[in-house]
Structure 1
Amino acid sequence: MRVPVAFGAWLLLLTAAWLTAALPWEALGSAQGAALWWQLRQHALYLSGVWSIGMMSLVMLLSLRQRWMEWPLGGMDQVYRLHKWAGIAAAVAAVLHWAADESSDFIKDIWGKAGRPAREVVWSWAVDWRGSAKDVGEFAFYALLVMVVLTLWQRLLPYRPWRYIHRVMPVLYLLLAFHTLALLPLTFWQAPIGLLMAALLALGSGAALWSLAGRIGRGRNSYAAQVQAVQLLGADAGTDPVEVVCAMPTRWKGHHPGQFVFVSFEGLEGPHPFTIASAPDGYARTDDGRQLLRLVIKPLGDYTQTLHARLQPGQTVRIEGPYGHFDGQGAARRVQVWIAGGVGITPFLALLQARQPGAANAADLQPAHMHYCTRDAERDVLLPQLRALCAQAQPRVTLQVHDAAQGDYLTPEHLAQYGARLDIWLCGPAGLGKAMRQAARQRWGWRMHQEAFQMR
């Protein structure tokens, strides 16, 4: 719910700020015929423009991946979710802005030029730049639409080339910022909305330049780690997961079970999010005292399918994080239910390691019921470890395995036995998450916690 609330609040803020501008509301109230249509066009033009650049500014700020953003939104995965929806909203508002601008010919053909408002006064320096600002805005508008289509229609373009094209987004923002700065009426800059727009353009432009300089993910949360071991967990490199153990530098501040990191194995490939599959003390340290981090990676694409052959012990990788609030602990009066599907077991492996005998703070945790969905239990290389961890977990974690090869699929009815008030922690395929979310909407006592790892 945090993302929809944040999205709605931001849209409301932009709309409220637009209402403070010194627009001719009296003229709109008394306008008739052609004058009314011209007035409506003018209001639609500026409101849609404020929405578009306001949402684009939010997109640029969220792209910085600052850790403080996690607390209000509930995790870095939700930051990316808001980033995506703000980008879509910016494109929709840009379409409305373009339609409002193009409607002048339509109004002129039907009603004529009578009642058309005079051209708005802009900054004196911008008078000679009106034409260029309009051309730049139109080019950026078409490019933005292409970017949104490529982002949403993922079959058109694989991740790697999309990522290179996506780097153009900061340039498009700077062009739209110039368009806004040159064409926004002077009356807007003199109203409270002027302060908001000035702040958004300054922050958004700063974020765009920071991105173009390649500085995102290079702050205090970024670490140069070393690959200690690489192992294919199974015999099939195309389907079985890969275990990568990384030695963190001494300045690594640690992590909480259930968190994830962005990992860059190769500079050209860029960062990918992977859940940490080990508790803070789940692995022995290196001889020189460095903490070891375990990643279990499912081969889902061309790059990850060859990762076991690409990585070598001693290789340097860049790790950014940790991020996320997937801790498996909800309200004290609710039953905790864990649901994992496939490689979605990784955060639960870390949570279970933190419950093993002798683990610190284990007494403060809650019992849980775990449901693990696997395609074939006999071939599942992670299932033996999962069973062993559940058997020794303190407090207890009961395990129920759903084997698709035997026709055993998880349904909402499996969860009904635990009562009406559940905290459900889910990590797994999109289809499984969709089914459980639909079931949760029909039962007021079920609360869903699911990290959205679809960063595109």
Structure 2
Amino acid sequence: MRIKMAMGIWLLGITLAWLAVAPADPGVLPLVDPQGAASGGWQLRQHALYLSGLWSIGLMSLTMLLALRLPWLERPLGGMDQVYRLHKWAGVGAAVTAILHWGAKESSGWLKTLWGTAGRPGRDAVLPWLADFRGTAKDLGEWAFYLLLAMVAITLLTRLLSYKPWRLLHRAMPLLFLALALHTVALMPLDFWALPLGVLMGGLLALGSVAALWSLAGWVGQSRRHAGRIQAVRVLGDGGPQAPVEVICALPASWPGHRPGQFAFVRFHRAEGAHPFTIASAPGSLGANERGESLLRLIIKPLGDYTRNLGRRLQAGQPVDIEGPYGRFDGHGGHGRQQVWVAGGVGLTPFLSLLESRQPGAQPPRAGQHPAHMHYCTRDAATDPLLPRLRKLCEHAQPPVALTVHGDAQGQRLTPRALEAGTAGPIDIWFCGPQGLGDALSAHAGRPRSWRLHRESFAMR
């Protein structure tokens, strides 16, 4: 809901600013006059061309700003994972509105064929010092448009590329933005630079350009990066190719500490880039090493092309860069609402941190905690390497956390009815796990029953 609201407010602001400088009489009716001139059709095309272009570059400016991983955006959007969700869908929105912009541009050929050029408005005046750049700006915008569509398509169809080439391709997005920003400045009508649209678009283009240059320089998240090292590595369970890997990291004194349920961007190998991993230990629960460095735990499941080989590539003493912490997955709920936690597979990791913070003697003690009922979905409850630790943590948790395990191999599938069992009033559901299960819970949360779903999302591409 926050993502849709943010997108709606952003587009509404641009639309209202455009309406303030648009003609009071849009001149689109009738589309074709009795003499056969399509004056209204040409005016409608021009309005659609400008407004869709403003929408597209405005959304692209938003994607550039969100890519900076600004911590102050977490509170209004509900966490850095939700910031990235908005980043993704703003990029998709920019591509969709760019298609509308391109369609409006190409519609001139249809109008000429059907009604001729009678009633076609003349060229709008642009900034004088860029008047000779119009042709080049049009060509630059068209090629950037095609590349933008290709990059958004590859982002949505993530299976087309593995992470590493996708990351390298995605790093070119700021260059596309700078090209489209130049296209916008060169072709935006001179009248549009008046208040309030001129200030709004000028500000967005300036901020987006600074963000693009910041990204190209590799400075994103730099102030929150901490150079640590790997204290220990252990493959859990049977040690097979699907076994999760536990990594204990030692961090310098600059690490600000984290809250239970948060995550960090971790870079084990410089050429690979940073990946988001949940911190699977509560603050202070692992103590410090012999050097006095604080320790934290990561549990990584081999799900992708990069994480599949981590167990063999990591070793104690290896340097690691950790950026963060980020996230607001705290397991808290509203007053009078029952708490239900749902984890699927490696989505258990934030709950391990939350549970460790509820153990006797946990430091620091946390306020605002309430009893909860946890549902853990696993492929096989008999062989799950994380389940014994989960049972022990739930057994000693204060406030208490009841545990229900759903093993696929045992025929124990989670259903919405199972979440409702034993609850009489409104419930808060905290979910981290596979997308399919999350989508099913989201669909059920929309029904009349008073559910409120908090969903951790790590689909950051």
Same fold (TM over 0.5): yes
Relative to structure 1, is the Cα distance of residues 432 and 26 closer, same or farther in structure 2, using a 3 angstrom cutoff?
A: closer
Q: Secondary structure at the match of 1:292?
A: strand
The corresponding residue for 2:81 is 77
- Using the aligned pairs only, state the percent identity: 60
1:20-419 counterparts in 2 under 5 A? 20-23=20-23, 25=25, 27-28=27-28, 32=33, 33-219=37-223, 221-359=224-362, 360-362=364-366, 364-417=368-421, 418-419=423-424
Name whichever of 354-363 and 21-30 sits farther off.
21-30
2:17 is the counterpart of 1:14: no
Extract structure 1 runs of 4+ deviating beyond 6 A: none
Which amino acid letter does the alignment assign opposite residue 164 of structure 2? R
Separation (CA, whole Å) in 1 of partners of 2:16 and 2:393: 53
Alignment length, in residue pairs?
Answer: 455
* Residues 215-255 of structure 1: CA deviation (Å, up to 9, x unaligned): 11212x11111110011012334101000010111011101
CA 1:110–1:247 in structure 2 vs 1: closer, same or farther (change >3 Å)? same
Please give the alpha-carbon distance, in whole angstroms, between the structure 1 residues aligned to 2:432 and 2:57. 35
8 A Cα contact 2:163 2:306, kept in partner: no
SS in 1 for 2:390: helix
Q: What secondary structure does 1:282 align onto? A: coil
Contact residue 339 and residue 371 of structure 2 kept, 8 A: yes
- Give, in angstroms, the shift of residue 450 of structure 1: 0.8
CA offset digits 1:180-231 (Å, max 9, x no partner)? 0000000001231000111011000000101111111212x11111110011
> Which amino acid is 2:25 matched to?
W
Q: Distance in 2 between matches of 1:335 and 1:137?
A: 52
Q: How far does residue 29 in structure 1 lie from its aligned partner after superposition?
A: 5.4
CA contact (8 A) 2:59 2:94 kept: yes
Specify the SS of the correspondent of 1:135: helix
Pairwise CA distance, 1:444: 3.3
**Greater CA drift, 241-250 or 371-380:** 371-380
SS at match of 2:121: coil
Spell out, residue by residue over 1:51-76, the C-alpha distance to the aligned partner (whole angstroms, 9 max, x if none).
00000000000000010110110100
Would the aligned equivalents of 1:363 and 1:395 in 2 still touch at CA under 8 Å?
A: no
Shift of 1:443: 3.7
Shift of 1:317: 1.0
Q: In structure 2, what is the Cα distance between the partners aligned to 1:340 and 1:78?
A: 18
How many Å separate the matches in 2 of 1:364 and 1:14? 40
User: How many Å separate the matches in 1 of 2:431 and 2:28?
Assistant: 52
Contact 1:341-1:372 at 8 Å conserved across structures: yes
Kindly state the Cα deviation for residue 363 of structure 1 after the two structures are TM-superposed. Answer: 6.2
Q: What is the TM-score with the length of structure 1 in the denominator?
A: 0.97
2:126 and 2:360 map into 1 onto residues whose CA distance is: 70
Q: Distance in 1 between matches of 2:408 and 2:449?
A: 29
Runs of 5+ consecutive residues of structure 1 not aligned to the other structure? none
Give the SS at the match of 2:299. strand
Q: Secondary structure of 2:208's match?
A: helix
1:436 and 2:441 are equivalent in the alignment: yes
Alpha-carbon shift at residue 341 of structure 1 (Å) = 1.0
Q: Is the 8 A contact 1:363 1:394 kept in 2?
A: no
- 1:394 Cα shift? 0.7
- 2:427 is aligned to 422
Amino acid at match of 1:428: G
2:340–2:427 Cα contact (<8 Å) kept: yes
After TM superposition, the score normalised by the length of structure 2 is 0.96
2: CA distance between counterparts of 1:432 and 1:47? 38
